[in-house]
Structure 1
């Protein structure tokens, strides 16, 4: 089977990393090719190391769909893949048109809850309104083209099916996974400074406003606490300003992007994940696999991974006081929190091991290729 994975770029995002994790464990009978449309390519060495044939269209205009469709059409005509798998919005639209023109089987993926209320609120003003609904309209009128959809959570699949008019029978759920062999069991750090760690791009949707406010509350009660955030993004200036206003520069550290940031969980006491909306989070799966105690927001995607008071503490969405309460509970009842972390690790090892995930993915693609 010859597969072409098409994606916006190869930057360090969840979808980009997830694809790399999956194809690493495909069988030798599956030939994997990668097509990315835009120049960002932090993960290019990773894909090269996997032995993939890689194509780049190097599109410059953010919505240069015409050039993208023409370029992908040529790749498809030359490569003649048995099936195309596409991820993220711009790649989705380009791939649908190119696959129709070349009569190539296409599988779409749902990696985010693209049309939820929280995301809609981020499109402000008339221009934002037009942008949101124009992208949705283009998505909806072309959503019939893929013969199958793979969602990384049941909630995400159901939500997108509702907004795009897709029969749920065309959607299969395969969770994100990680290689359990890489994750040694977390042990409590010896430091007497209680460290919370958060990993994710610096966007407001990740819940950083609530996290910083909640941390400021517990910092007044506990002198030996700090918060380290790994990631980079456009929301950094606002975060820096707020941290400075709260006089927490010595306790909240914006550590930027680093390779394999999940390894920093072994230096922390708790992983905190207050995201407002999310795909099925790879960072949350990584935290579960280490066994570090976890605090998570109660968005439906997270609750498909963790269970409140059994494998994590769960706080109410965008509720600063509740998040602060859970952070304080984490500190005050730490031995029982460590036990919850152990249970989370056991769950993740069974449910999210990448070898099982990759087998599900590859089997589904083979079945789709052979289905008329």
Structure 2
């Protein structure tokens, strides 16, 4: 079976990283080519190292849909794939049009709950309404969908009108680390999170929670690894609350699992450089930092790979109660859960965990067991491949009957 998988770009983000991990583990029965449109190449070297064929269509940043569709149609006619797969909004729209024009069947993916009511809190204006309607009006084109959470499947049945029977759920997976993190006997005081610096990630809620706990826990720290357009607002909040010595935004980190297992040191890669030059004035903090708990305050998500990584590492977790998180962890068993957007309750959960180190240890151990049972990347890749084979076999048999 020959596949063309399209995505917006090769940024180092959840969906792109997940494709890298999954495609690398496909059997030789599937010949995969990844096509990307826009000039962001952060994961190019990693894809090439994994021997995944890449084709860059060199579309100017932003949209340029007509040019992108024209180039993709030409490529499809040259490559003659059996199936197309698309991921992320721009690639979805481009590939749906190309599928319609070439009659090559398309499998869509659902990786974010972009149209849930809470998602519209950080989306304003006519642009987002046009985005939604273009998505909805073309959602009938894919012959099947793969969602990375059941909550995403249920949500898009309502918001895009997709038929339930056309959706399969395959969770995000991650490689299994060789060992879990050692459980410290010292008090819990260093908290971390990962993700793009976007309003919807809820990092502002975590910062506000820290402002509430610091008077009684002045040696606590929160480090948020990632980069994005919401950085300035987060920095303003940190400074306005007087948290510049306690809350840190060092930038991107190349290997989140390494940080979860062994902490953060000057040798770790930040923003693609092998130094701490990109995180002053936090150099001393960065060199001493070892994590005790993973915070995940997101307002809405797909199924978070970062959450799975924290589970794999055996890290105690405090997470918002969005449905995708609740498909992975249970309150007071494998994580502490709080109402999304409620910084006051989040502060209470942090204080509770600090007062009960044994609970933290037990939850971390339980989270790792669950991750090993459900989210190992080998299992996820095998499930994904089986679904694609089933779709392809069904289409082949259907074509033979017509003939």
TM-score interval (norm. to shorter) = over 0.9
Q: Structure 1 residue 192: deviation in Å?
A: 6.0
Question: Is 1:155 aligned to residue 151 of structure 2?
Answer: yes
Q: Which residue does 1:221 correspond to in 2?
A: 216
The one-character-per-residue Cα deviations of 1:227-261 (angstroms, maximum 9, x if unpaired) are 11100011111111111122211111111002112
Q: Distance in 1 between matches of 2:150 and 2:229?
A: 30
Q: Distance in 2 between matches of 1:122 and 1:244?
A: 22
Q: Which residue does 2:329 correspond to in 1?
A: 306
Aligned pair count reads 367
Q: Which residue does 2:288 correspond to in 1?
A: none
TM-score after normalising by structure 2: 0.89
Question: Is 1:348 aligned to residue 371 of structure 2?
Answer: yes
What secondary structure, in the 3-state scheme, does the structure 1 residue paired with 2:11 have? coil
Structure 1 residues 121-270: aligned runs within 5 Å: 121-124=121-124, 128=125, 130-180=126-176, 182-189=177-184, 194-266=189-261, 267=263, 268-270=291-293
Q: Which residue does 2:66 correspond to in 1?
A: 66
Q: Which residue does 1:34 correspond to in 2?
A: 34
Q: 1:133 to 1:183 in 2, by over 3 A?
A: farther
Q: Distance in 2 between matches of 1:193 and 1:246?
A: 22
Q: Distance in 1 between matches of 2:359 and 2:120?
A: 38
Question: Is 1:271 aligned to residue 266 of structure 2?
Answer: no
TM-score after normalising by structure 1: 0.96
Deviating more after overlay: 20-29 vs 320-329: 20-29
Q: 1:231 to 1:183 in 2, by over 3 A?
A: farther
Q: Distance in 1 between matches of 2:29 and 2:347?
A: 51
Q: Structure 1 residue 123: deviation in Å?
A: 2.3
What secondary structure, in the 3-state scheme, does the structure 2 residue paired with 1:33 have? strand
Deviating more after overlay: 15-24 vs 246-255: 246-255
Q: Distance in 2 between matches of 1:254 and 1:262?
A: 18
CA contact (8 A) 1:192 1:224 kept: no
Q: Distance in 2 between matches of 1:209 and 1:218?
A: 15
Instruction: Could you tell me which runs of 5 or more consecutive residues in structure 1 were left unpaired when the two chains were aligned.
Output: none
Counterpart among 307, 310, 313 of residue 284 in structure 1: 307
Q: 1:265 to 1:14 in 2, by over 3 A?
A: same
What secondary structure, in the 3-state scheme, does the structure 2 residue paired with 1:198 have? strand
Q: 1:73 to 1:250 in 2, by over 3 A?
A: same
Q: Distance in 1 between matches of 2:17 and 2:186?
A: 31
What secondary structure, in the 3-state scheme, does the structure 1 residue paired with 2:215 have? helix
CA contact (8 A) 1:297 1:317 kept: yes
CA contact (8 A) 2:122 2:199 kept: no
Q: Structure 1 residue 121: deviation in Å?
A: 2.2
Deviating more after overlay: 254-263 vs 65-74: 254-263
Q: Distance in 2 between matches of 1:118 and 1:105?
A: 33
Q: Which residue does 1:368 correspond to in 2?
A: 391
Question: Is 1:77 aligned to residue 77 of structure 2?
Answer: yes
What secondary structure, in the 3-state scheme, does the structure 1 residue paired with 2:3 have? strand
What secondary structure, in the 3-state scheme, does the structure 1 residue paired with 2:12 have? coil
The one-character-per-residue Cα deviations of 1:8-60 (angstroms, maximum 9, x if unpaired) are 01001110001011111111221110100100110001111111221111211
Q: Distance in 1 between matches of 2:354 and 2:132?
A: 43
Q: Distance in 1 between matches of 2:141 and 2:123?
A: 27
Q: List structure 1 runs of 4+ shifted beyond 4 angstroms.
A: 189-193
Q: Distance in 1 between matches of 2:389 and 2:110?
A: 19
Q: Which residue does 1:88 correspond to in 2?
A: 88
Q: Which residue does 1:318 correspond to in 2?
A: 341
